[in-house]
Amino acid sequence: MQKNTERINANEMARLIEDNLSAKSMSFARLPGGAIHAGNPIWFTSGLNRAGYNGITWASFTPQDLDAQIEESLRPFKQSATPLTWWVGPLSEPGGLGRALQARGFFHNRDMIGMAASLNHLAEFIPPNLEYAFEPVLSQDELREWLPLFAETFSVPHADSGMVFDSFAQVSFAPESEWRHYLIRADGKVVATSSLHLGAGVAGLYNIATRPAYRQHGFGTAITLHTFEQARQMGCMLGTLQTTYPNALRLYHRIGFEVYCKIGIYQRRDV
């Protein structure tokens, strides 16, 4: 069921942002060898030996037993020598969890600002001044065209490109997948990419990338609004996203998004 945005308070909005991010991350547990543990903490593995594809998405611990609880949470990852990401959002407890993780060998990768907006109240779309085409990614061949710009923007090592393609292909085109990918073409090349993840009853925006030579032409705004329009046509009422970039924060604010939370990203590659 899609969420009625008129009845959602700020705390609930933050929860939906975090829940969508968690559902997106855990979608990779569908890969061969993947697993999900739905207790406390919530954790998943994907069968891939990469920190970004395994981890803990939520935990509620007591300050008195924090070290022991963290150690117990790491046990399944240590048993398989699996690197992991620990997402620390507004629902995670206690408040000093991120600092405690750093004391136990995690490094603070970054903080993401969680934003949300009603899809019926986004800014009016002003098309870029260059001719372009917005297209859904509906096949593995189209995903191969989509991948290079995504990989370049998000610093995916060239050696990992085949693994990343196979992983996205499996989770994106599986029955009942909640993933949708899109691209913009201009001058015969892919100049922007995006993804939707429809977890937790909302439309989460991910994988926004614009080819450097085509920035400052409105393509970032274009693919964002086109992508959320696809979600709106599918019946979604709420859009969510996370960003680490001040310029992107300003862009999203201009088109109607508000800040609701911060999510810390902590990683360990040697467990």
- The CATH number that applies at residue 247 is 3.40.630.30
Question: Is 2 within 8 Å of 201 (Cβ atoms)?
Answer: yes
108 and 124 share a domain? no
What pLDDT is recorded for position 191?
98
What pLDDT is recorded for position 1?
40
Q: Which residues lie below 8 Å from residue 61, measured CB to CB, with a gap of 6+?
A: 69, 70, 93, 94, 97
**Cut 0.85: pTM above it:** yes
Question: Is the pLDDT confidence value at 77 over 90?
Answer: yes
**pLDDT digit string (tens) for 15-57?**
999 999 999 999 999 999 999 999 999 999 999 999 999 999 9
61 and 108 share a domain? yes
219 and 233 share a domain? yes
Question: Is the pLDDT confidence value at 261 over 60?
Answer: yes
Single-letter amino acid code for the residue at 203: A
What pLDDT is recorded for position 5?
54
Mean pLDDT over residues 223-250, rounded?
95
**pLDDT digit string (tens) for 185-232?**
999 999 999 999 999 999 999 999 999 999 989 999 999 999 999 999
In 3D space, the residue among 28, 77, 76, 19 whose CA is nearest the CA of residue 52 turns out to be 28
Query: How many CA within 13 A on the CB side of residue 210?
Result: 15
156 and 44 share a domain? no
What pLDDT is recorded for position 6?
55
Name the percent of the chain lying above pLDDT 70. Answer: 97
136 and 245 share a domain? yes
64 and 161 share a domain? no
Mean pLDDT over residues 63-89, rounded?
96
Mean pLDDT over residues 144-171, rounded?
97
Q: How far apart are CA 135 and CA 146, in angstroms?
A: 10
Q: How far apart are CA 30 and CA 167, in angstroms?
A: 9
**pLDDT digit string (tens) for 86-122?**
999 999 999 999 999 999 999 999 999 999 999 999 9
Residue 81: band (very low, low, confident or very high) from pLDDT cuts 50, 70, 90 = very high
138 and 224 share a domain? yes
What pLDDT is recorded for position 247?
82
176: domain range? 118-260
232 and 163 share a domain? yes
Number of structural domains in the chain: 2
91 and 176 share a domain? no
192 and 72 share a domain? no
What pLDDT is recorded for position 204?
98
134 and 76 share a domain? no
110 and 137 share a domain? no
